[in-house]
Amino acid sequence: MNETAAILEVKNLARDVPTKNGPKTIVNDISYNFEKGRIYNIMGPSGAGKSSFLRLINRLDEPTRGQVIFHGENFNQCPACGLRRKIGYLFQTPYLFPGTVRDNLLYAEDKLTEDDIQRLVKQSRIPPGIIDDDVENLSIGEKQRVALARLLAMEPEIILLDEPTSALDPTYTKAIEDLIKCIVKERSLTVIMVTHHPEQALRMGGQALLLVAGRLVETGTADEVVKNPKTEMGRRYRDMEMQ
Ligand SMILES: Nc1ncnc2c1ncn2[C@@H]1O[C@H](COP(=O)(O)OP(=O)(O)OP(=O)(O)O)[C@@H](O)[C@H]1O
Ligand SMILES: [Mg+2]
């Protein structure tokens, strides 16, 4: 596989869920290639299927139709737990285990040396003085950075972020955004991030995918999709969100 080949490919990906009115397609026939070392912003109105799409990528949910192909291999053939180390997922609100920051990092990877821990803490902008503090006492912004450090401890190739800053105030939001951009550069990570805010997609840069009613309706650079959409749906979303 050459450098520009897709690290992750979704092909005709779809998920139906049962409802009292019969099955509903919440992710509808999405095909797309994600490349290594890039940022992808998943945008769209509430209920568009952004979280559902993200969950299919690391098998938090199983697709009804279609495929997810990771490094050229159909993901159904990869064991889910191994896959989840390579394709990490950061939840909207930080989800940590009881114990200290250090415990949380070691829980993710018990072979971490003291040097590894110091490096992760530094890279995730965690104040060094809190390594042995109970995570229960940390601020939400600190917790989100610990959650990110724990994810990085597993050395993922792709990280999936579902509105990672929605619970944070603007200062922490900017810090997490900068941190993610830095990590993408340092580690050549692929980031797929759901965002509710077109301004955030512009700040993150990279590519954007616009979902409406489960379908992928527009793709391009974040700048193009936000400011200069090619489709009627894209223009409607811009006019609704950017007024
Ligand atoms: N397990 C489920 N059963 C029934 N409906 C579901 C299920 N999961 C999601 N949905 C529906 O699928 C649609 C897409 O949901 P999803 O959470 O992916 O949207 P979203 O784009 O992430 O929205 P938001 O921006 O509000 O987070 C919604 O209408 C939701 O109610
Ligand atoms: Mg969502």
In a domain, residue 1? The reply is no
Q: Is residue 153 part of a domain?
A: yes
Q: Which residues line ligand 1 (CB under 6 A)?
A: 17, 19, 26, 44, 46-52, 196
> What per-residue confidence (pLDDT) applies to 78?
67
Measured by CA distance, the residue closest to atom 12 of ligand 1 is 26
**The pairing of beta strand 87-90 with beta strand 73-74:** unpaired
Query: What is the rounded CA–CA span in Å between residue 68 and residue 181?
Result: 25
Determine whether 88 is exposed, middle or buried from the number of CB atoms within 10 Å of its CB (0-12, 13-18, 19+): buried
Tell me: the pLDDT tens digits for 119-159?
Answer: 999 988 899 899 999 999 999 889 989 999 999 999 999 99
What CATH number corresponds to the domain at position 230?
A: 3.40.50.300
For residue 137, the CA-to-ligand 1 centroid distance in Å is: 32
Instruction: Tell how far the Cα of 210 is from the centroid of ligand 1, in angstroms.
Output: 15
pLDDT tens sequence across 154-206: 999 999 999 988 888 888 888 889 989 998 988 899 999 999 899 999 999 99
Query: Is 169 domain-assigned?
Result: yes
Q: Which whole-number Å values give the CA distances from 196 to 44, 53, 89, 176, in the listed order?
A: 7, 14, 17, 16
The torsion angles phi and psi of 140, rounded to 5 degrees, stand at -65, -35
Full domain range(s) for residue 54: 6-241
Query: Which ligand sits nearest to residue 209's alpha carbon?
Result: 1
Model pTM above 0.85: yes
Does some domain include residue 187? yes
Round to whole Å and give the CA distance between 132 and 102: 6
The domain tally of the chain equals 1
